[in-house]
Amino acid sequence: MELEPVIGLEIHAQLLTKSKIFCGCSTAFGASPNTHTCPICVAMPGVLPVLNREVVEFAMKMGLATHCTIAPSSQFARKNYFYPDLPKGYQISQYELPLAVNGWVDIETEKGPKRIRIHRIHMEEDAGKLVHDEFQPMSYVDYNRTGVPLIEIVSEPDMGTSEEAAAYLRTLREILRYLEICDGNMEEGSFRCDANISLRPVGTEALGVKTELKNMNSFRNVQRALDFEIRRQRALIERNEPVVQETRLWDVARNVTISMRGKEEAHDYRYFPDPDLVPVVVSDSWVASVRETLPELPEAKRERFMAQYNLPLYDAQVLTSSKALAVYFETATAEFPQPKTVSNWIMSELMKQLKRDEREIEDCPVPPENLAELLSLMDTGVISGKIAKTVFDDMYTTGRKAKAIVEEKGLTQVKDEGAIEAIINEILRENPTEVELYRGGKEKLFSFFVGQAMRKTKGKANPQLVNEILRSKLANEER
């Protein structure tokens, strides 16, 4: 029996509002514990939460960007559970009436684009952070994160492989970052993912028993956890053993998922509408005004890059993977209108350096105008392509402009035929044995002479001229 995985993802994205969802405390990350708290955060009796309007707008943006329907009226609900990360004894979330429903995004797969449906997007508050003492039976509670706004994005079970799940995650993260409503940092937890996964015989419709995977804080871990779980469930089914519906944690050190059975109470959240929060009623005109603020989204930009700049899909995908990178490319291309050359330099030289330093394009020491200037110098023959790479390294390290570096270091390409001829004569004189061998038929030695010429000119000689002159010299003497 051939089995296929069925995967659905629940994504929690922290919204980049300045203040919390229901009070004016700051959402800034990394403050000393409990310094961003107030009576609302710690659930003192008698307090009233008041909804941050920006949270609704941000959530609407994501809803519209993923083709959801915005509910004309939505409502907050209490999700009841007792755990010290939430002092109220419940989390304020949305249940029966979420803000956005029935959307979709297209992801790129090996077999071409695939549509993943989005079941719902709702708003909720984040919980606090617990640090467990290693030696005492005690936990330290920090409520700074309590009340930081989240949206939960729930997909339909439309993914069939861990690669598709990763592609869906990347797509959503890109959109969130384009909208500038979430920084998408998985390691810091501002973009989190839980996965529901089950297996079923190929060709059948009914879903198998699923497990829920948690604790995966990188794209790689999501993929590895899913792959492990697919193998684990397949083995169970093949042995005719039941898959148990449960929550499992990804253990990054051991590369396995482990059962949380017994450690967690049965889910019984007893949701009910929160009487403290009145309905959110969204008019058509409000939706329209938010829609107007949407930027060009990754998919549209990708298509435009391919059409307008005649770039291959791969280049367009890389360049639109972040809004800042796309802006960088377009700024450089406006100054140096050879898109493919700009793209090549960004994807090779520039990204290599950024990757090595774990820097984002936003912190790139070479502004796009400076890259364009360097490429112009290369294009007009002032410097050779080889020299351009070393100049670029210099620009990256020092932040200086190409022209200044070229002038200071005297890197201007030697295009004076007389000068190159003189150098070549010198080389032929100094290497009589090699000349002899070459003329005797060992033509591979040609590159040796080119190398010598480049060394003598510190790479500045125009390679075409060197080739031409060398060829004629080596041939001439033969006669």
* Residue that is written with structure tokens 């502004």 in the block: 367
- 8 A C-beta contact, residue 18 and residue 29: no
First to last CA, the chain: 77
> Nearest-CA neighbor of 76 among 273, 370, 357, 271?
273
Q: Which of 36, 61, 192, 460 binds another protein (CB under 8 A)?
A: 36
Q: Are strands 272-273 and 77-80 parallel, antiparallel or unpaired?
A: antiparallel
CA distances from 163 to 159, 222, 320 (A): 9, 10, 20
46 part of the interface to another protein, by CB under 8 A:
no
User: Which positions from 230 through 269 interact with another protein, judged by CB under 8 A?
Assistant: 263, 265, 268
Least distance CB 56 / another protein (angstroms): 7
Q: Are strands 246-251 and 211-216 parallel, antiparallel or unpaired?
A: parallel
Residue 152, sorted as left (phi over 0), alpha (psi -120 to 50) or beta, turns out to be: beta
Least distance CB 254 / another protein (angstroms): 18
25 part of the interface to another protein, by CB under 8 A:
yes
419: part of which helix (H) or strand (E)? helix 417-430
Query: Segment contacting another protein (CB under 8 A): 278-286, 310-318, 394-402, 455-463?
Result: 278-286
Query: Segment contacting another protein (CB under 8 A): 75-83, 107-115, 155-163, 419-427?
Result: 75-83
372 part of the interface to another protein, by CB under 8 A:
no
84 part of the interface to another protein, by CB under 8 A:
yes
155 part of the interface to another protein, by CB under 8 A:
no
- Find how far residue 299's CA is from the centre of its chain: 14
Burial (CB < 10 A; 0-12, 13-18, 19+), residue 282, is buried
With b meaning 16 or more CB within 10 Å and e meaning fewer, what string describes 283-298? eeeebeebeeeeeebb
72 part of the interface to another protein, by CB under 8 A:
no
279 part of the interface to another protein, by CB under 8 A:
yes
Looking at beta carbons only, is 26 or 457 nearer to another protein? 26
Rounded Cα distance between 26 and 59, Å, is 19
Q: Which of 69, 113, 140, 472 binds another protein (CB under 8 A)?
A: 140
Least distance CB 50 / another protein (angstroms): 5
Q: Which of 133, 205, 284, 478 binds another protein (CB under 8 A)?
A: 133
Q: Which of 1, 136, 284, 429 binds another protein (CB under 8 A)?
A: 136
Q: Which of 69, 113, 115, 131 binds another protein (CB under 8 A)?
A: 131
The residues binding another protein (CB under 8 A) are: 17-19, 23-26, 32-39, 41-42, 44, 50-56, 73, 75, 80-84, 130-133, 136-143, 263, 265, 268, 270, 273, 275, 277-281
